[in-house]
Amino acid sequence: MSELLKQTKTMPECSNTLAPARLHHIGFVVRRIADAVPGFVSSLEMTWDGEIFHDPTQTVRVTFLRHKSREEPMIELVEPASPQSRVYGFLKRGGGLHHVCYEADSLKSQLETVLSAGAIMVLEPTPAVAFSGRKIAWICTREKLLVEYLQRKAAGTPVE
């Protein structure tokens, strides 16, 4: 049995009552949302409501494509809002798959966990236009995976 498998089997049970982080969407950087939508919709059999959000803090425009099953993660198309956009350099190198986003009950707890595992903070928690002001935070894992965390908001509870 490999050492990793041994370690995995002997990990203590989590006494945390929070729901595990859930894959919310996969971010894909494109030159123009309007040009990219038809290909994604037809090739992945997704739906699009036509709504595009401009987020001046993130310096992007985004839209979400949904699977027919609402339980499946969405695809987020991300378009630089200007040549000064945070994702413009990524687009100039070809764009494409950019990040994964997980929705978490507690942004604070989730960030503490991933930072203690060696991730680095890319962007501190900040409200996001596309999520009605719910906070998002960005980290980069040791494995160089860019991860966005989205605060899950339970009905009737304030966002931390």
Q: Where are the domains of the chain?
A: 22-151
CATH of segment(s) 22-151: 3.10.180.10
> Are the beta carbons of 117 and 107 closer than 8 angstroms?
no
Mean pLDDT of 14-20: 58
Residue 36 banded pLDDT, cuts 50, 70, 90:
very high
Task: Give the three-state DSSP class for 123.
Answer: strand
Read off the amino acid at residue 56: P
Share of the chain above pLDDT 90, in %: 79
Place of tokens 């928690």: 125
Task: Give the three-state DSSP class for 16.
Answer: coil
Supply the pLDDT for residue 29: 98
Question: How do beta strands 146-151 and 96-104 pair?
Answer: parallel
Rounded to two decimals, what is the model's pTM? Answer: 0.84
Q: Choose between 3 and 57: higher pLDDT.
A: 57
Q: pLDDT (tens digit, 9 = 90+) per residue, 92-149? A: 999 999 999 999 999 999 999 999 999 999 999 999 999 999 999 999 999 999 999 9
> Are the beta carbons of 101 and 27 closer than 8 angstroms?
yes
Place of tokens 């595990």: 20
